[in-house]
Structure 1
């Protein structure tokens, strides 16, 4: 769906585009406060607020009133941290940037893989530092924390799927 069609669709639903813009900027500010790059946060929030969950660089530039170069840098970051994927618009040379279908589930699932890689490196580090040294004990505790986090995250994501499925079936 192009920018104009999406804007028109928003008008048809009675959506206040100024309120949507304020939401995008407010959520982006929260993401920035949490450590995300400012422009990446704005692009992510704009994608999240779009009905299609996908926009082109030109649509993002227009919506956020930023340069194509700013969009490009933000997208590069969001793709790198697996929050957005790039896809080619059929029959064109333009890319669309799309949120993952189960955005938060997928994002947290990918973090799980990152934690596994960190655990492996930290385990080696704990061995190298020696378990009887303060540094070795600190690194070993970090490994134990990540192991705990992974176990809890896996269970939480399973519970989320069950909860979401019940909601979709109208049971909860």
Structure 2
């Protein structure tokens, strides 16, 4: 497996992989590099939507000329293994690419990587080194969308946030039902503006598509729910 700095050819292959919609893990596998190398390379050079190999190569050369050494990566920000941090960072970036707010993604990933899938708000604040308000906003979002559930610890009188296998089922169902509501709202607008109007025809098609896809997803989620048990 190659070591050292990325070459310009490797950066061009990273750009091509991003254009093709490949995951960081797949790009890294094709390069024979650790996934964390690709994740850091893209993150520090504009992100997946703005990564340019030539600019990235020149920027790296400028940083090297300035002689700024990279900090040793022997542990995560809260004392966890560096490998765990790298894996978490990649999942966070993928979640952000799908539209999840970055802080929300960080909280979700930290819960996913916890041994028992449980953290208190204080633990999240300490591990992520962010404000209690940031954690509160993130966990409220995750609870609202079914990714996490809130439990009460009666002994210590504080909330515990939990992610378990069934959370995937609940989040899929909750989000799909919201899409189904959108589809049915579109159908209601069609009744108002008329089926034969340009707006009516457009919304009618969109609503029918979203409704049918949503019903398929709900049926599939119920059919495969036992995989999570």
**What is the TM-score normalised by the length of structure 2?**
0.60
Instruction: Verify the 8 A CA contact 2:184 2:211 in the aligned structure 1.
Output: no
Equivalent residues of 2:147, 2:167 under 8 A apart: yes
Match of 1:118 among 182, 189, 199: 182
Match of 1:142 in 2: 206
Aligned length, in residue pairs: 150
Larger radius of gyration: 2
After TM superposition, list the pairs within 5 Å mapping 1:1-172 onto structure 2: 17-161=81-225, 164=227
Q: Give the Cα separation in 2 of the matches to 1:81 and 1:58.
A: 22
Partner-residue secondary structure (3-state), 1:102: helix
Structure 1 unaligned regions, length at least 5: 1-15
CA root-mean-square deviation: 1.9
Unaligned runs of 5+ in 2: 1-79
Cα distance in structure 2, aligned partners of 1:92 and 1:103: 25
The range that moved more, 81-90 or 40-49, is: 81-90
Quick one: structure 1 residues 107 and 138, their matched pair in 2 at CA, closer, same or farther if it must change by over 3 Å? same
| Distance (Å, rounded) in 2 between the aligned partners of 1:98 and 1:79 | 9
Per-residue CA distance 1:17-50 (angstroms, 9 max, x = gap): 2211222222111111111111000000111111
CA deviations 1:27-84 (Å, max 9, x no partner) are 1111111111110000001111112111011111222222222211211221222221
Match of 2:43 in 1: none
Write out per-residue CA displacement over residues 63-109 of structure 1, whole angstroms, 9 at most, x where no aligned residue: 22222222112112212222212211121221111125412211111
Deviations 1:125-146 (A, max 9, x none): 1111211111111111111112
Higher relative contact order (CA 8 A, sep 6+): 1
Higher helix share: 1
TM-score (norm 1): 0.78
Tell me if structure 1 keeps the 8 A contact 2:193–2:199: yes
